[in-house]
Amino acid sequence: MTDVARIAGVSQSSVSLVLNEMSGARISAETRARVREAAQKIGYRLPNTRQDLAQAPAIEKDTIAFVVDEISTSPHPVVSLDGIRDYAFEQGLLVSAHATRSNPDLESAVLRAVLRDPAIAGVIYATIFTRKVSVPPELANIPTVLLNCYAEPRQHMAIVPGEVAGGFAATAHLTSLGHRRIGFINGEPWMDAAVDRLKGYKQALATADVAFDEALVRDGDWLPLRGYEAGLDLLAMENPPTAIFCGNDLMAIGVLEAASERGLRVPEDLSVMGYDDQELARYTHPPLSTLVLPNYEMGQKAAEILIDMAIHGKRPRPMTIKVDGPLVQRGTTAMLSHASARRR
């Protein structure tokens, strides 16, 4: 590739863009032709296009392509990738990871490159947050599993977190400790995760014969500052909650700060429940009770299903599988004390 760049008088990056057929690159037709001519002159082609695949010797399909819209702004897709990698390696396969940044041109280029590679056994198509997607038509003829996303009509296997069950489990934990005034700081209301966690919260209250009180619910944005602001707002109520369930661990950290500012002890005066079990949940003071978002297990499950389809020839009926995460009780939740109840 360096030789091609030198002969064509362009950068190696330009050679890569041209030979990989990256449609979003602003490279003139003249430059593209010069690069292809230089590559042909020295007999260079990409490894997976050196010969007509119909005449090429069979290449073992030993790689899973993990295609995700974003990977660097959240720990969740990275943990899913760990699960995919570990399960695949146990089965003798490797994983190639591709982040598309929600750029349609980049996604198309990635999928073209993936489909050209005869070593690719199948694709795990993932999103950074749970949502409905339109599956790219390029994936119609290759084994594909959706991860943390789903499509309608249901034509693919999809693995998503059990968010309703998670919201239920987190809230039921608090009701089991005697709490009846339970505040809920949710995420952004347009997101699937926020809708389903709220649904689980309501179901757990109903199961415990506790009436749902809309005044105890606040919309958040998944960040500590909003958790702090919403926590102060809830704790300033005439009849404040004795426990607060937060839609994620970051907002729970904000609530811990709000409780401290109000002179409340956690968990003696206020129980705080997080969600996600991010690494930092172990290091708050006290350590944060939370519910695991099972990204690793979801990744493993996606790899297992894809390998069954691509390597073992199984054809499962398309469905959406929901993976539940366990509750982790640490130091921020406790039985409702009589003194705490009287103060409220």
83 and 192 in a single domain? The answer is no
Could you tell me if residue 125 is inside a domain? yes
158 and 182 in a single domain? The answer is no
Structure tokens at 75: 């720990």
Q: What is the CATH number of the domain that holds 158?
A: 3.40.50.2300
179 and 111 in a single domain? The answer is no
> DSSP label at 336?
P
pLDDT of residue 192: 95
pLDDT of residue 326: 96
Could you tell me if residue 99 is inside a domain? yes
How many domains are contained in the chain? 3
140 and 217 in a single domain? The answer is no
Q: How would DSSP label each residue in 268-321? A: TT-EEE-SB--GGGGSSSSPPBEEB--HHHHHHHHHHHHHHHHTT---PPP-EE
170 and 270 in a single domain? The answer is yes
Q: Is the peptide bond before 153 cis (omega within 30 degrees of 0)?
A: yes
Could you tell me if residue 323 is inside a domain? no
72 and 187 in a single domain? The answer is no
Closest CA relative to residue 92, chosen from 66, 122, 62, 59: 62
pLDDT of residue 25: 63
The CA distance from 324 to 314, in Å, is 25
72 and 116 in a single domain? The answer is yes
Q: How would DSSP label each residue in 181-233? A: SEEEEE--TTSHHHHHHHHHHHHHHHHTT----GGGEEE--SSHHHHHHHHHH
25 and 97 in a single domain? The answer is no
Residues in contact with 95: Cβ distance below 8 Å, sequence separation at least 6, in sequence order: 63, 64, 65, 66, 81, 84, 85, 88
Query: Which residues form the domain of 9?
Result: 1-42
72 and 145 in a single domain? The answer is yes
pLDDT of the chain along its 344 residues, tens only?
A: 777 877 888 876 777 778 777 666 678 888 888 988 988 888 876 544 434 444 444 458 899 999 999 998 888 999 999 999 999 999 999 999 999 998 999 999 999 999 999 999 999 999 999 999 999 999 999 999 999 999 988 889 999 999 999 999 999 999 999 999 999 999 999 999 999 999 999 999 999 999 999 999 999 999 999 999 999 999 999 999 999 999 999 999 999 999 999 999 999 999 999 999 998 999 999 999 999 999 999 999 999 999 999 999 999 999 999 999 999 999 999 999 854 555 55
pLDDT of residue 95: 97
Question: Which residue(s) pair with 122 in the sheet?
Answer: 64
The CA distance from 301 to 295, in Å, is 10
Could you tell me if residue 128 is inside a domain? yes
Could you tell me if residue 131 is inside a domain? yes
Which residue type occupies 75? P
Could you tell me if residue 343 is inside a domain? no
276 and 299 in a single domain? The answer is no
Q: How far apart are the first and last CA of the chain?
A: 71
180 and 81 in a single domain? The answer is no
198 and 282 in a single domain? The answer is yes
Planar angle of CA 42, 32, 119, nearest 5 degrees: 65
pLDDT of residue 56: 44
pLDDT of residue 16: 74
